[in-house]
């Protein structure tokens, strides 16, 4: 019997835990069961208490103290330890039925989603038929305020594409915290950011502001390497952003859904995409109508 799950990922501050909490609340209101798995060993507070918490196995704080590692190294150590103790997941998830949506709340360090093979190995373990056999969907969150800074937007989109390639599971990308940009970006302009392409660099607000100020942004070969502002506004930086945008456009893999976690309809819409990815409704048994319901349907 298959199980169903979603792995909520994205950079730090993207609103992953907030989305998980809103998703659980929405499921509860619609009489669906959720099983909340926290896989962030540094997380401290939750709106909904996790049903399974990696900190019961290992915590980032303990690793940093005992192993004398930094936060990123400590996080990788925590996941390596988890991979050596996968029974921690199996014992908790094996008995779950198809009625549950298993929500994996992931950490924000993007190294896990880009060039370290730990998460692909974990995903393979979770989805292997005959074992846990979870129909898994990845949801990658990027903060909607990144659209104001084209460099951040394209860097975040590149990370999203890297996660798609690494994990090889059904995948949706989400612009989160839409409520924060309602007064900053017009709805008409927001539509441009649904699919990343190079044309977005032509009206970069940062470049327009520098041109209005009379700054020369055409050449940076003589810029002081210690001057961060000069380097980030020069021609070399623009060529880098253009190359990233062209790469995203060439692969044509990344597109975004919009999410406002404070809006139940918005959360419900994202859930419908998740259900489509994991084919949740296709596997559900048809519900038999009771006699009184059947009579009402005939009328």
Tens of pLDDT, residues 191-202? 889 999 888 887
Residue 126 tokens read as 């979770």
Binned at pLDDT 50, 70 and 90, residue 229 comes out as: low
Task: Give the mean model confidence (pLDDT) for residues 148-156.
Answer: 91
Helix (H, G, I), strand (E, B) or coil at 151: helix
The rounded distance, in Å, linking the Cα atoms of 221 and 224 is: 9
| Domain match, 213 and 121 both | no
Q: Where are the beta strands (DSSP E) in the chain?
A: 3-9, 33-38, 52-53, 100-105, 134-143, 171-176, 256-258
| Domain match, 104 and 191 both | yes
- Its domain, for residue 231, covers 198-251
Residue 21 tokens read as 């909490």
| Domain match, 18 and 82 both | yes
The rounded distance, in Å, linking the Cα atoms of 174 and 116 is: 23
Query: Is the sign of the CA dihedral 228, 233, 239, 240 positive or negative?
Result: positive
Q: Which of these three, 232, 251, 270, is where a domain ends? A: 251
CATH code where residue 93 lies? 3.40.50.300
| Domain match, 87 and 230 both | no
Q: Domain count of the chain? A: 2
Binned at pLDDT 50, 70 and 90, residue 294 comes out as: very low
Q: Which of these three, 213, 229, 251, is where a domain ends? A: 251
| The pLDDT of residue 284 is above 50 | yes
End-to-end CA distance of the chain: 37
| Domain match, 238 and 259 both | no
At CB < 8 A and 24+ separation, what contacts does 56-59 make? 56/88, 57/81, 57/82, 57/85, 57/88, 58/82
Q: Range with the lowest mean pLDDT among 30-44, 108-122, 154-168? A: 108-122
What integer best gives the mean pLDDT of the chain? 86
| The pLDDT of residue 19 is above 90 | yes
| Domain match, 225 and 102 both | no
The rounded distance, in Å, linking the Cα atoms of 215 and 234 is: 10
| Domain match, 215 and 94 both | no
Binned at pLDDT 50, 70 and 90, residue 282 comes out as: confident
Residue 29 tokens read as 């209101």
| Domain match, 39 and 66 both | yes
Query: Any idea which residue has 């349907």 for tokens?
Result: 297
pLDDT tens track for 59-72: 999 999 999 999 98
């Amino acid at each position: 019997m298959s199980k169903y799950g979603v792995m909520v990922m994205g950079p730090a501050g993207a609103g992953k835990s907030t989305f998980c909490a809103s998703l659980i609340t929405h499921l509860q209101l619609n009489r669906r069961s959720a099983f909340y798995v926290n896989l962030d060993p540094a997380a401290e507070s939750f709106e909904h208490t996790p049903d399974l918490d990696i900190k019961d196995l290992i915590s980032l704080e303990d690793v940093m103290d005992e192993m004398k590692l930094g936060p990123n190294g400590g996080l990788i150590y925590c996941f390596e330890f988890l991979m050596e103790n996968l029974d921690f997941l199996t014992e908790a998830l094996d008995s779950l039925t198809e009625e549950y949506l298993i929500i994996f709340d992931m950490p924000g360090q993007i190294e896990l989603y880009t060039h370290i093979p730990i998460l692909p190995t974990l995903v393979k373990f979770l989805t292997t038929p005959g074992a846990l056999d979870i129909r898994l969907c990845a949801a990658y969150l990027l903060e909607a305020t990144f659209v104001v800074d084209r460099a951040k937007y394209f860097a975040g989109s590149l990370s999203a594409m890297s996660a798609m390639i690494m994990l090889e599971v059904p995948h949706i990308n989400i612009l989160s915290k839409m409520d924060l940009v309602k007064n900053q970006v017009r709805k008409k302009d927001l539509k441009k950011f649904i699919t990343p392409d190079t044309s977005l660099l032509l009206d970069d607000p940062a470049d327009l502001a520098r041109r209005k100020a009379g700054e020369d942004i055409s050449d940076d070969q003589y810029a002081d390497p210690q001057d961060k502002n000069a380097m980030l506004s020069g021609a070399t930086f623009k060529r880098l952003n253009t190359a990233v945008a062209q790469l995203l456009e060439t692969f044509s893999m990344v597109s975004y859904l919009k999410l406002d976690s404070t809006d139940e309809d918005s959360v419900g819409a994202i859930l419908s995409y998740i259900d489509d990815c994991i084919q949740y409704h296709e596997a559900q048994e048809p519900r038999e109508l009771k006699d009184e319901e059947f009579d009402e349907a005939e009328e």
